[in-house]
Amino acid sequence: MPIVCGGVVYALVTDAYDAFEHFGFLNFLTSSQWSYTAGNEQYGALPFITGTLMTALLALVFCIPFSLPVALFVGEYFKETKVASVLSTVTDLLAGIPSIIYGLWGFFTLRPILMTLNISPHGSGVLTASLVLAIMIIPYVASLSAEFIKMVPNDLKEGAYSLGATRAEVIRKIIFPVAGSGMFSSYVLAIGRALGETMTVTMLIGNTNNIPTSIQSTGNSMASIIANQFGEADDLRLSSLIAIGLVLFLITALINMIGKMMIKRARIV
């Protein structure tokens, strides 16, 4: 595995070198220009970094009200019952649906609904993309959080009950503090998944190369710009796209590392 990983990094760095050399590493990250004008090409990654982080974080916010109840239902309220196993199986099934199907559903079902409700006048945009992304990451968050909730020692909970705590109090004062960092790490890992999601986002985000100014506006994520333009790109644009791939790789790796570290800490507790 380290060899594969090292190979990926090596290939990305060598191919992205031209772009970094031409624009400067920091300038490439902070420039919001993505302009094809021949002779004066300007490629900067900022619109796509913003687009990626916006969709991923929004998706996380949208997924909390769904994934948290599922995790509590499966891990605490109906722990080890038939209902819980059915529910967790159904939630896990969501993870098995190919992303193109989510994209099509978002395009043909969710997008017209958002347009008729006038929530998003153009239909496509950051909001539409993150709503579908939220559904896609629910299974990861829900099943991982449920595992951490199940791991909370029974003695602690029984102790609290014997002192007269209600179930809500047990969840708030015992389960959240004990399983909290583990649950947090499950959200961090889910972000890692949302960051790299390509097909769904490409179909729904609107694919314009500007920094999204509101959650309704269109934009592009790092994965979607690569998917859109890789086929026709050459020279400097190709190198810039690979550089974006490298940045995405680094961000995802960083977030996954944070998640893993939090899980380790949770195990020690």
Identity of the residue, 182 or 206, whose beta carbon is nearer to other proteins in the bound complex:
206
Judged by CB under 8 A, does residue 81 bind other proteins? no
**C-alpha to C-alpha distance for 245 and 168, rounded to whole angstroms:** 45
Identity of the residue, 30 or 35, whose beta carbon is nearer to other proteins in the bound complex:
35
Identity of the residue, 63 or 222, whose beta carbon is nearer to other proteins in the bound complex:
222
CB of 18 to other proteins, least distance (A): 16
Judged by CB under 8 A, does residue 35 bind other proteins? yes
3-state secondary structure (DSSP) of residue 121? coil
- From residue 38 to residue 77, the character string flagging contacts with other proteins as x (rule: CB under 8 A) and all else as - is x---------------------------------------
3-state secondary structure (DSSP) of residue 232? coil
Judged by CB under 8 A, does residue 123 bind other proteins? yes
The single residue among 218, 221, 240, 252 that binds other proteins, judged by CB under 8 A, is 218
The single residue among 67, 130, 186, 229 that binds other proteins, judged by CB under 8 A, is 229
Q: Do 34 and 47 touch, CB atoms closer than 8 A?
A: yes
CB of 147 to other proteins, least distance (A): 38
Which contacts of 184-187 are long-range, i.e. CB under 8 A and separated by 24 or more positions? 184/262, 185/144, 185/258, 185/259, 185/260, 185/261, 185/262, 185/263, 185/266, 186/140, 186/141, 186/144, 186/145, 186/148, 186/259, 187/60, 187/64, 187/141
The span of 61-69, 73-81, 220-228, 245-253 binding other proteins (CB under 8 A) equals 220-228
CB of 11 to other proteins, least distance (A): 17
CA-based Rg of the chain, rounded to a whole angstrom?
21
Burial class (CB in 10 A: 0-12, 13-18, 19+), 94: middle
CA-wise closest residue to 79 among 181, 170, 180: 170
Phi and psi torsions of 193, nearest 5°: -70, -45
Cα of first residue to Cα of last residue in the chain, in angstroms, is 29
- From residue 143 to residue 182, the character string flagging contacts with other proteins as x (rule: CB under 8 A) and all else as - is ----------------------------------------
The single residue among 20, 23, 28, 34 that binds other proteins, judged by CB under 8 A, is 34
Q: Do 211 and 76 touch, CB atoms closer than 8 A?
A: no
Q: Do 23 and 43 touch, CB atoms closer than 8 A?
A: yes
CB of 229 to other proteins, least distance (A): 6
Q: Which of residues 187-216 bind other proteins (CB under 8 A)?
A: 202-203, 206-209
Q: Which of residues 91-110 bind other proteins (CB under 8 A)?
A: 107-108
Judged by the rule CB under 8 A, the positions of this chain that interact with other proteins are 34-38, 107-108, 111-112, 115, 121-125, 202-203, 206-209, 218, 220, 227-229, 231-234
